[in-house]
Every structure is written in C-alpha cells, then in structure tokens.
Homo-oligomer: A and B are copies of this chain.
Amino acid sequence: MTSKENPVIGREGSQPKGVARRREILDRAIDVFRERGADGTSLRRIAEAIGISHAALLHYFDSREQLLVAVYAHAEAQRSAPDSRTGVDSILDAAVINVEVPGLVQLYSTLLAASLESRSEVGKTYFSERFDRLRAELTEDLERGQDAGRIRTDVPADHLAALIIAASDGLQIQWLLEPSIGLESTLRTFAELLLPPADGDRAGG
C-alpha cells in the first residue's frame, strides 16, 4: 500500500479517524482535479463535490495551499506505487503518464509557481524536498549507470539529474500547449544524449 512514508501534510493530530477521513477527502479531491484541473477548483467547489462545507475542509487542512499540496502529493504517491523504481526511465515514463491527466500537470505547475512566492511555506517546503529527493535518487541511479557503462562519464551525474527533471517538467507543459512536439520521442532523444559515445558501433541491449 506504500503508506510507510506517505507525505500526509495535513494537520498534526494524526488520529486514526482523522487520517481515514483525510484520505477520503483527498481521494475525492483528486477526482475533481482530474476533471477540472486547478481551474474552477475553489475550496467551496471542492467541498461541494465532496459533500461537506468549505469550512469543514479547513478543519483538516490549514489553508487552500496545504490542501492542494496534499492532493498532489497523494496523487503522486499513488502513481509511484506500482513500480517504485528510482531510475531515469521512471522519470521519463512518469512524464508520459502525467500528461494523460492534464488536470494534475496543471495542478503541479500552479502549485510549483505558487511555491516561488515568498508567502508560500508549505509549497516551498514540499517542492524543495521533492526536488532534493528526486535529484538524489536520480544522481545515484545515474552514477550506477556510469559505473556500468550505460551512461557517459564525461559529465557530472548530479547535473544530469537536475537537467532530466527540469526537461521533463518543462516538456510536459510545452506538450500540453502543443501536442505535436511529441513528448515521448523527444524525451527518448534526451535519453540518447546520456549514452556514452559509441567507440565502435556496438549497441547495448
């Protein structure tokens, strides 16, 4: 169930009852964003879709931003459950899967932009830690790839990690605005850039 380290993000008091109800709310809220993105999703609309008052929502989440971050974290945790590998491919695969649910990409982009604002505390913390974690995992994976000869060694792995995440994020947005760019093929091209220069013409598996 991958609930060992799920970022709960809500209020502190983690009584079993509250946690269960919070999960219910998040599950319903995710559906709202799947359909409508972060667009018409005011607290009152979300609450209405769930069947409670908007004030009740704020009983579980201190602010709208906290709720939205929790929704995105919850959705992402669900998605990363199946494979849970930390490789380069998982990032690129995730990008292709993400754009199938424009509402979540939109939610991600909106929250990320908001996290840059000075007042954003929850968002800034969440995305800082998320990027730190993703970069660390990817760097490790790339270094293993370098040791195994699958990744070129003339460039630092941590740079590549940051670039892969950045390119993935940026391309998803470009694709939503112009689907003809070919998200998957473009990302595969990026993966080719990571290969070590072929000495002869030997292609690895």
Contact = CB atoms under 8 A, between A and B. Distances in A.
Interface of A: 37-39, 102, 105-106, 109-110, 112-119, 124, 127-128, 131-132, 135, 154-156, 158-160, 162-163, 165-171, 173-174, 176-178, 181-182, 185-186, 189-190, 192-194, 197-198
Contacts of A116: 37, 102, 105-106, 109, 173, 176-177
A167 to B, nearest CB: 4
B177 A162 contact: no
- Copies of this chain in the oligomer: 2
Task: Say whether chain A's binding surface is mostly helix, strand, loop, or mixed.
Answer: helix
A178 B132 contact: yes
Contacts of A168: 166, 170
B159 A163 contact: no
Contacts of A128: 177-178
A112 to B, nearest CB: 6
B38 A115 contact: no
B155 A163 contact: no
A171 B127 CA distance: 13
A75 B33 CA distance: 33
